[in-house]
Amino acid sequence: MARATLKDVAQLAGVSTATVSYVLSGKRTISEETKQRIHDAIAALDYVPDLNARGLSMRDSKLIGVVVPQTEPGDRLMFQNSFYSEVLGSIEFYARQQGYHILISATDANESYLTLAKQRNLDGIIVIGMYPDEFYQEMKKTQIPIVLIDSYCNDHYYHNIRIDDAYGSYLATRYMLENGHSHIAFLTGQMKENGVMKKRLLGYQQALQEFSIPYRVEYVFEGQIEYSSGIALAQQLLTSRLPVTGIVAAADILAIGAIKGLFEAGKRVPTDYSIVGFDDVEVAQYLTPGLTTVRQQISQKGQRAVELLLKHIEDPTLPKQEEILPLQLITRGSVRNLNAP
């Protein structure tokens, strides 16, 4: 049996298709008698409104696009890192509370987001992570509200929710230095100019400088923000035979992988190596020992991004805003105090 259409409902109710649309959208006052006839026709025909088609005519699809990074080789989404799962879950929850649904998409430098935005008539977009400048130039052509999460894009077209990544990494490195560690390795994902990882490297460098310890490039181990990369970087560190006692990881997923890599080589945390992470993903507290890490309010990033986006959807004249969320060092058991007698 063919699916009932708006025209079928209008014919059965004895009204125009425009009147049916007005009843469904609630944007015009229609008599109770007419509304009842239309609702009866909808029930009789088992009519299900095409929300996307309604959105095209009403400019209100109740649909938010969310752009999620791919892994650095580009073969899958970043969901192995629970940071992204948590922030995405927060976006979905708070959007749903306001009657919106989300459409998740991965994109890269070679893929235009314009087509999807137009086809699905998105009300707004949330972009997680950093992308090339060309991507941001392309996104502006959508002419709809956009909020960035964790971006250092300086274009004032966009709202932005982020943290001070350099300061967070500074806190982690300073804590390691305060506990007597002077040979500290830095494990990082792929560093891009003005990107999150580069900012976190700057924080590491600033803390070393504050303690009059020279920065050594050979103490920096660059990989990908993945568990397997953390294992590989720990193995590289051990092979280097550098006199490292402490490790600052630019993400918890790297720190957790590094702990595994050290364990496989017969090394223990914090007895042989101390380690500090960044993010405070949920699993960090369940490790043995618990992972000392820099806590960012991951769920709040998603919540604030949704709130700001919906505020802009309601008020297109809203001035562009940047919000920097607070950070906190969470001490657990993964750092050994070398100053202790």
With respect to residue 340, please indicate whether it lies within any of the assigned structural domains: no
The count of domains in the chain is: 3
Domain shared by 203 and 291, yes or no: yes
Domain shared by 149 and 173, yes or no: no
Q: For residues 104 and 56, what is the distance between their CA atoms, to the nearest angstrom?
A: 20
Same-domain check for residues 23 and 97 = no
CATH classification of the domain holding 127: 3.40.50.2300
Whether residues 232 and 150 fall in one domain: no
Q: Give the DSSP per-residue string, 121-145.
A: T-SEEEEES---HHHHHHHGGG-S-
Residues 101 and 149 in one domain: yes
Q: Does residue 58 fall inside a structural domain?
A: no
Encoding tokens for residue 43? 């029930």
Q: Which tens digits make up the pLDDT trace of 185-225?
A: 999 999 988 789 999 999 999 999 999 999 999 999 999 99
Asked whether residue 228 falls in the same domain as residue 107, the answer is no
338 within a domain of the structure (yes/no): no
The count of C-alpha atoms lying within 13 angstroms of the C-alpha of 135, restricted to the half-sphere facing its C-beta, is 19
In a domain, 142, yes or no: yes
Beta bridge partners of 103: 65
Domain-embedded: residue 339: no
What secondary structure letter does DSSP report for 211? Answer: T
Q: Is the dihedral of CA 121, 126, 128, 129 positive or negative?
A: positive
- For 137, left (φ over 0), alpha (ψ -120 to 50), or beta? alpha
Q: In what helix (H) or strand (E) does residue 63 lie, and over which residues does it extend?
A: strand 63-68
Do 179 and 292 fall within a single domain? yes
Examine the domain organization and report whether 136 and 247 are in the same domain.
no
Same domain, 155 and 270: no
Tokens of 82: 């629970």
What is the pLDDT, as a whole number, of residue 23? 81
Residues 73-121: pLDDT tens digits?
545 556 667 888 899 999 999 999 999 999 988 765 445 667 777 777 8
- The answer to whether residues 169 and 156 belong to one domain is no
Can you say how many angstroms the Cα of residue 104 is from the centroid of all Cα atoms in its chain? 12
Q: What pLDDT shows up at residue 109? A: 42
DSSP letter, residue 327: E
173 contacts 204 by C-beta, under 8 angstroms:
yes
Tokens 């070393």 belong to residue: 208
- Residues written for the chain: 341
pTM over 0.95: no
Over the stretch 253-267, which tens digit does the pLDDT of each residue have?
999 999 999 999 999
pLDDT digits (tens, 9 = 90+) for 128-166: 988 888 888 888 888 889 999 999 998 888 999 999 999
Whole-number average pLDDT of the chain:
88
What residues does 296 pair with on adjacent strands? 327
On whether the CB atoms of residues 249 and 187 are closer than 8 A, the answer is: yes
Counting residues of the chain whose pLDDT is more than 90, the rounded percentage is: 61
Q: Which domain holds residue 34?
A: 6-49
Does 92 reside within a domain? yes
